[in-house]
Each structure stands twice: as C-alpha cells, then as structure tokens.
Amino acid sequence: MSKPVYILNGPNLNLLGAREPEIYGKQTLADIEDICRIEADTHGLPVRFHQSNIEGEIVDQIQEARDKASALIINPAAYTHSSIALHDALKTLDIPVIEVHLSQPATRESFRRRSYVAETATGTISGFGADSYRLAIKAASKLAQPDT
C-alpha cells in the first residue's frame, strides 16, 4: 500500500456549510472529505484527513507528513496569510505540496493577497469551491505517482 496523501485543513473549516456559504459554499467538511475519497479511489490513492483550529497542531501534522505521506494537500485557511510557522514546516518537506482554497483569495480583501504557503507549495488551486480539493487530488496523484 502506498503512503497516504495528507489532506490538512486549518481554522474555521470545521464550520464549512454554515460559515459564509455565499463565499465557501454549502458543503460541509465531511462532504468535502467524501469528494476527496471518491476522487482518490479512482487513482488508487489512500488519503488521511486532519482539521485543526490550532496552528501548532497543523505544524505537527506537516512534520508527520515528512515520513508518512506521499504528498500533502493543505488549505491553511487564515494561517495562509499569517503563519511563518507553517511556511517553515512546509519548507522541510521533500514531497509535493498543493495549496488549496475554496474561494479565490486574490479577488478578496487585500490582507488575503499574501500567502506564506504559496512560496513553499508545488502549486496552488483556488476559486473552484469544493472542486478545488478534487483537482488537488488529481494533481497529487500525478505528482506522487508520475508513471500512472
């Protein structure tokens, strides 16, 4: 069995569905996990999910991914725009890193235009709602299993 793709979600994403649905959509995080599982299954990829509202816990998950994951998909939520700790942790990874956002931060408030994560990511997928995650799994599958 190949190593799983880690899918990490940051603060307030546990409230998806109820939180500003006009921006983030009506799907819950559980719905998004189902979408990811279905897409990952088509690529034969195991996935592992983790959501936390705590920056240090996300750092711990990133560190764990160093040995245990084949790729990492991360929606750092608000930490995208503030966290040097996540930036530094992500820089220690040798696996593909895909930054994901439901919305398109570049078209929103000016404080969302800066991503400390983008500088460390292989690529970023944003603005497609829950489909951003599905596209990220596709990308992770290509990057983690280049011969398939």
Q: For residues 147 and 75, what is the distance between their CA atoms, to the nearest angstrom? A: 27
Tell me: does residue 78 bind ligand DQA (CB under 6 A): yes
Q: Which is nearer to ligand DQA, 20 or 41 (CB)?
A: 20
Residues 6+ apart with CB under 8 A from 133: 7, 32, 35, 36, 39, 73, 75, 100
Whole-Å CA distances, 130 to 65, 78, 125: 23, 17, 11
Catalytic residue among 6, 79, 87, 101: 101
Tell me: does residue 29 bind ligand DQA (CB under 6 A): no
Contact window for ligand DQA (CB under 6 A) among 45-53, 61-69, 71-79, 83-91 = 71-79
Tell me: does residue 105 bind ligand DQA (CB under 6 A): yes
Look at the block and give the residue holding tokens 């897409």: 39
Binding footprint of ligand DQA on the chain (CB under 6 A) = 12, 75, 77-78, 80, 101-103, 105, 112
Catalytic residues: 24, 101
